[in-house]
Amino acid sequence: MNAKHPIAIERISSPTPAFFREHYLEKRRPVVLTGVVSHWPAVTRWSADSFKQRFGDHRVVVERSRASVPSNDPLEFLRNRYYEEARLGDTIARMMSGEHPPGAYYVTYANIFDAAPELLGDFESPPQTWGIPPHYPRALQDRLTLRPGFWLGPAGTVSAVHFDRQENFNAQISGRKKWTLYSPQDSRHLYYPALDMPTVIFSPVDIEAPDARRFPRFAEAQPYETILEPGELLFIPAGWWHHVRTLELSISLNFWWWTLASVGTTARVNYHFARKQLLRILGRQGATAASMPVG
Ligand SMILES: O=C(O)CCC(=O)C(=O)O
C-alpha cells in the first residue's frame, strides 16, 4: 500500500464537451464523467449472460496466464501472460464457473464489432463527442480514433500498473472496477523506466503489495482512486499510470485517441525503448537503469 492517502478522482456530472476539454483534457487531469454514457443501450442491455447467449459462437482473443497460482507481481504477470483465440461462450462459461483463478481468462481490448456490427449501435464514440474539437474534419476525427475495445473479466482480475500512449476513455458497462491512477510526475516513484520489464510501459511495482526494500521510492507516489460504476466514463490522460482491479464480473469498453500530448508521451516511450534495446546490445541491461532520466 502507498504511504500517501489516496485522493478520490473527481466526478463531474453531464459537463459540456468544451468544459471537459478545457478543464481536464488540456490540463491533463483524470476525471469521471457521470450522466454522459448512462443512457447507452449497452449499459441497460449488455450482460455476460446475454453475450453468452447471443454471441457465444464468436471467436475472441483471450488473455490467459500460465501461472498455476496467480501473481500480481507485474514482472511475473507479464512473463506468464499469453493470448489464445476461443469461443466467447466457452470463455464466459469458464469465467462464471468459479473453477479458475482470477487472471486465467480475461477478454481484453477485443474486437467483436467486426463479427457483430449490430453492437456498434448500442454506444457512441466518446473521443468524437467529447475529446476531439468539433471543427476537425470528420476524416481526421476518424484517423485520430482507434477502434473501440471490448473488455470482459471476472471478479479478482487485475491489470498491473502501466500507462498508455494515447488518451483513453473507459466506459463501465456492467459490474464495477477499482481504478488506481498515478500522475506521470510520479514515474520516478514507480521505477520508470524499468529496463528489465518486457515492455517499458509497465512499472515493476506491485502497488497492492509493494516491496519496500526493492522499491523504497514508491512510498512517495500519490494514488488517485475511484470505483467505476456501470454508466460512468473515466478519462485517463495519456501517460497517466493505471492499475485496475475487477470487483464483479465486468464488461467495459475503452476508446483510445491521439492528441498532440499523447504523441509526446509516445516519443518518450520510444526513446526509452531505444535505450533499452541499446543497453541490451551492449550487454548492460538494467545496469544503468537507476541513473536513467525519467521520461
Ligand atoms: O480494465 C482493465 O483491466 C485495464 C484497462 C486498461 O488498461 C485501459 O483501458 O487502458
- For the chain, the structural domain boundaries read 7-291
Tell me, using a 6 A CB cutoff, whether residue 164 lines ligand 1: yes
Among 146, 165, 244, 265, the mutation site with the greatest number of ligand 1 atoms within 8 A of its Cβ is: 244
Distance CA 127, CA 46 (A): 21
The pLDDT assigned to 207 comes to 97
The grid coordinates of residue 10 equal: 473527481
236-292 confidence digits (pLDDT tens): 999 999 999 999 999 999 999 999 888 888 888 788 878 878 887 888 665 444 333
Q: For residue 159, which atom of ligand 1 is closest to its CA?
A: 3
Tell me, using a 6 A CB cutoff, whether residue 172 lines ligand 1: no
167-213 confidence digits (pLDDT tens): 999 999 999 999 999 999 999 999 998 877 888 899 999 999 999 99
Q: For residue 149, which atom of ligand 1 is closest to its CA?
A: 9
Sheet strand arrangement including 224-228: 7-8, 224-228, 177-182, 241-246, 158-163
* Homologous superfamily of 7-291: Cupin (2.60.120.650)
The pLDDT assigned to 285 comes to 60
Report CA(206)–ligand 1 centroid distance (Å).
16
Tell me, using a 6 A CB cutoff, whether residue 48 lines ligand 1: no
Tell me, using a 6 A CB cutoff, whether residue 159 lines ligand 1: yes
The grid coordinates of residue 271 equal: 526513446
Tell me, using a 6 A CB cutoff, whether residue 187 lines ligand 1: no
Q: Cβ(175)–Cβ(251) under 8 Å? A: yes
CA 166 to chain centroid: 11
The grid coordinates of residue 126 equal: 466518446
